[in-house]
Structure 1
Amino acid sequence: MSKTLTTGTPWRVIVVFAIPLLIGNVVQQLYQVVDAMVVGQNLGVNPLAAVGTTGAILFLLMGFAWGMTTGFAIPTAQAFGAGNFVALRRSIASGTALTAIASLLVTVLGVTFSRPLLQLLQTPESLLNDATTFAVVSFWGTTATMFFNYLSAIIRAIGDSRTPLIFLVISCAVNVALVILMVKYLHLGIAGAAGATIIAQACSVALCLIYVRRAIPVLHMRRNDWRINWQGLSLHLRLGLPMGFQASIIAIGTLAVQIRLNLLGEEAVAAYTTATRVDGLANAFLASLGLAASTFVAQNYGAGLYERVRVGTRQCAVVASIVAVTVAVLLISCGDYIIHAFVGRGNSEVVSMAHYFLVVNGLFYIVLGILFVTRGALQGLGRVLVPTLTGVLELVLRVAAATILGGTFGFAGVTWANPLAWVAAVCLLIPAWLVARRHLNESSVRLASVRS
């Protein structure tokens, strides 16, 4: 059911909207954690490391797709906030066409170039076959993944963050059951783990379509809505492509980190794989607030409530800071116990490296929280240039950390890639937000004078 975010106390509206996103992010991270645990406990450390080596190339292409579909939903949210339902449906038509094209391209590129990319990353020969299998099978499921992301973004754009959560929980439950069945009992190995995720994503797409058809009349498409024109496509591309490239640029930095890890050996890859799974849970808390801020800003900006945009973003940043400190304390103090759930006993070096990663990242979670909120707010306003530039900055810092610090200090040096990238990005985002806030203030004054 649609819901406007243009009324009520801003921070409460954002938090209520973010809670399902948060739970959804955590659930999504949890089923990735389950994948890792099932693979690690049943197939061993090497297959776990093989799954980890695919993360960078999956993020490179799938991250682009996720960022792009999220950008496609921004005009939808703005149209909903303005009450323009014709523009809303035409926005959906443009986004659907572009998502279909993008999913085809990502599938072809991913299936074709998975092995060459893994070799380029200097993946250890002992991991290459398993890593290639996992990546190729995963890319065959690109269409299901992209359309679930897009449909979820559309439903959230009209203020409903709860329903995508319900479908995600169902999808995750299906995934958990299937990965255990396929890996532990049917002995399908790495391919079974990837295939389980594809089936689960396809189920979630079907659920989204059924729900839209039965419960959201405002999203029912009409024949005229499908008359897509270049003006509509270009608007969506102007917002979607930079957000997609931003994710890909960040992924290239992750590739540089992966190369350095591969050179450090299988234990380093396993430690990083494990640590990033746990770190992903922490990121989920903050990313959900950033996504909520983006939708909140888009709806209120579309409705002309400029002062509400400014106040809501500030309050969201405060909430993100509180969450960041809380999560950091938890992971720093309990990291060892969590990591043991992945690798079991007898891998003390892997546990030690993974815990160090959690400590270093945890100390900078407050910076990451500010990053997500300010970036989300700018994207909600349709200002995508600076967020894209922050991706370039993050790329530079990640490559430098992997090359220089990783070469000098090994795994400890690589660990600093993320915090350095976050700090650099925030240094660019905060001035951009201050400029945007000034423009919002000026727009509020003009609007008030017109109404008076």
Structure 2
Amino acid sequence: MADLEPDGITAQTTDEGLVSATRHGARDLTQGPITRTLIAFMLPALGSSVLQALNGSINTIWIGRLLGEDALAATSNATTVMFLMLSFVFGFGMASTILIGQAFGRRDIDGARRTIGTAFAAFGVVAIILSAIGWLFAPQILHALATPASIVPLALAYLRVIFIGLPAALMLTMLMMALRGSGDSLTPLYFMALSVVLDSGLNPFLINGIGPFPRMGIAGSATATMIANYAALAALIATVYLRDLPLRLRRGELAYLRPSPAILRTIVGKGLPMGLQMIAVSASAMTMFSLVNRQGVATTAAFGVALQLWTYVQMPAMAVGAAVSTMVAQNIGANQWDRVGRVTRSGVLITLSITGVMVVLLALADQAVLALFLGSDSPAMPIARHIQLLGTWGYLLFGVTMVLFGTMRANGAVVVPLLILAFGLLPVRLGFASIMQHYIGADALWLSLPVASLSNLALATIYYLRGTWKRQSMIAS
């Protein structure tokens, strides 16, 4: 192939990077048994998601036990802000992952390096700007969130430290996703584990001022998160170079840190709709909470616990969807379209199997699991059992939809999946919950998720089977 022009995406084929990738844990996802390869690639990504969720749960326990309910409420407001930030990075990171995956599929290591150079430099600058703006306008952000006045000082102290650590959090997420695009899902798992150990381990020391550490209260929890993210990011970058992983930039390749307009247009143009999918999920969840809150404190508590459990139930579907997207991207890059449909079918079967087992186990052991969050005599216990019984099975449908979306976005089809998801989660889900409450009461709230999932799956299946998504392209014109 011809050498890459400054703003192009095709590049000279190199085998050195592929050998390095295989030697250091990356996988060639265009070869070998599809199901076995997909499972082996997906499991570390699932492990990273579980560790991230556990980290949040552990930190919540530390804050709740050491600082009380006001501090918990304060961190919830900051978490909402961080979710919005990470939603956009998810979209841009996913677009970068797909570009890198396609480059690896066509044996174009130089093209992959150009993509990571553009993504890391451009969004590093954006992250720093967002960090500065967030720190300056944190009071206004909290006011916009209608944060209760009694917890504003706590929320402000926490949020400002979180914004200082924002660049590390965003760039760590993007670099981990880029490595997965190269077929390496193990290295991100190791450094997610490092971040979790540091974060959850430092929390009590910095909150209470144990040993040589200063007593920082709620800001100590945010500081632990900041330290963990910066340390993990620095260690991951060092590892990329020490192990000579294929995405490292050396000598003349450092010029790739000057963003390529063509690659940047692709990342922004394709990444923005993917980020907006996460915003749609967030908007739907926040609106549902406003409906649930009208049912009373016990119902709100029960719904909150159900959401905690659903976080874990949906993880396999998210992990399989992301793994399918990367694997399909590599096969599209290698022009092996015969494997694309087989990867999708394997992803659907894996998702149904794992999620199905989790749904059944939760149904059989719901009382024991819910008792971890609620006392066995809590008035919220029977409500929580009823909620999860009606709503949890919807994640089977959700999982299949995520696999179909993962396949389609690997070829650049991102707008229609966004419209499908937004339609299902907003007018369908919220409309069903609002209207059907008059006929079946609060059960309409819990059934709204399966109804929305069924709508999303039906529309996603129609779009997938029509095949028009195959005429899309990740590369910007």
> Could you tell me the TM-score, scaled by structure 1's length?
0.86
Change (3 A) 1:300 1:112: same
Kindly report the root-mean-square deviation, in angstroms, between the aligned alpha carbons of the 2 structures: 3.1
Deviations 1:104-133 (A, max 9, x none): 354355445655555555555555554454
1-structure distance, mates of 2:218, 2:440? 32
Q: What is the aligned partner in structure 1 of residue 123 from structure 2? A: 99
Offset of residue 156 of structure 1: 0.8
Q: Secondary structure in 2 aligned to 1:338?
A: helix
Matched, 1:378 2:402: no
State the 1:19 CA deviation: 0.7
Query: 1:69–1:146: 8 Å Cα contact kept in structure 2?
Result: no
Q: In structure 1, what is the Cα distance between the partners aligned to 2:102 and 2:318?
A: 21
CA drift at 1:237? 1.5
Indicate conservation of the 8 Å contact 2:134/2:163, yes or no: yes
Contact 1:48 1:270 in 2 (8 A): no
Moved more, 83-92 or 269-278: 269-278
Q: Distance in 2 between matches of 1:357 and 1:113?
A: 38
Tell me the secondary structure at the aligned position of residue 365 of structure 2: helix
Instruction: Give the corresponding residue for 1:160.
Output: 184
Alpha-carbon offset, residue 282 of structure 1: 1.8
Within-5 A mapping of 1:360-439: 360-393=390-423, 394-400=425-431, 413-436=444-467, 439=470
- Please, which moves more after superposition, 60-69 or 390-399? 390-399
Match of 2:93 in 1: 69
What is the CA deviation profile of residues 344-381 of structure 1, one whole-angstrom value per residue up to 9, with x for unaligned ones? x4871344444444333322121121022111111112
User: 1:331 Cα shift?
Assistant: 2.1
2:408–2:470 Cα contact (<8 Å) kept: no
Structure 1 residue 94, shift from structure 2 partner: 1.5
For 2:286, the aligned partner's letter is L
The alpha-carbon distance between structure 1 residues 96 and 46, as it changes in their structure 2 partners (threshold 3 A), is same
Q: Tell me which residue corresponds to 2:52.
A: 28
Matched pairs, number: 439
**Contact 1:123/1:259, CA 8 A, preserved across alignment:** no
Query: 2: CA distance between counterparts of 1:111 and 1:417?
Result: 38
Q: What does 1:204-353 align with in structure 2 at a 5 Å threshold?
A: 204-221=232-249, 222-260=253-291, 270-342=301-373, 345=375, 348-353=378-383
Partner amino acid, structure 2, of 1:378: M
Q: Runs of 5+ in structure 1 lacking a partner?
A: 441-452
Q: Which amino acid aligns with 1:214?
A: L
2:227 aligned with 1:199, yes or no? yes
Q: 1:248-276 CA deviation, whole Å, 9 max, x = no partner?
A: 23222233234445666666555444432
| Amino acid corresponding to residue 70 of structure 1 in structure 2 | M
Alpha-carbon contact 1:5-1:299 (below 8 Å) kept: yes
CA contact (8 A) 1:124 1:262 kept: no
Deviation at 1:21, TM superposition (A): 0.8
Q: Matches of 1:263 and 1:126 in 2, distance apart?
A: 22
2: distance between equivalents of 1:262 and 1:302? 48
Which moved further from structure 2: 361-370 or 399-408? 399-408
Shift, 1:234, TM fit: 0.9
For the structure 1 residues 425 and 284, does the alpha-carbon distance in structure 2 shift closer, same or farther, using more than 3 Å as the test? same
For residue 100 of structure 1, report the CA deviation from its aligned partner: 1.5
SS at match of 1:382: coil
Q: Please give the alpha-carbon distance, in whole angstroms, between the structure 2 residues aligned to 1:48 and 1:354.
A: 21
Matched residue of 2:371: which SS?
Answer: helix
Shift of 1:303: 0.4
C-alpha contact (below 8 Å) 2:89/2:174 kept by paired residues: no
Amino acid at match of 2:221: A
Q: Residue in 2 aligned with 1:140?
A: 164
Identity between Structure 1 and Structure 2 (%): 26
CA distance in 1 between counterparts of 2:136 and 2:441 reads 32
Distance 2:458 2:286 in 1: 23
Q: Which moved more, 1:411-420 or 1:227-236?
A: 411-420
C-alpha separation between the residues in 2 aligned to 1:139 and 1:228? 25
CA distance in 1, matches of 2:460, 2:174: 26
Q: CA deviation at 1:438?
A: 8.9
Higher RCO (C-alpha 8 Å, min separation 6)? 1
Letter in 2 for 1:337: A
- State the Cα distance separating 1:10 from its structure 2 match: 0.9
Between Structure 1 and Structure 2, which shows a larger proportion of helix residues? Answer: 1
- Checking the alignment, whether the CA contact within 8 Å between 1:49 and 1:127 is kept in structure 2 is yes
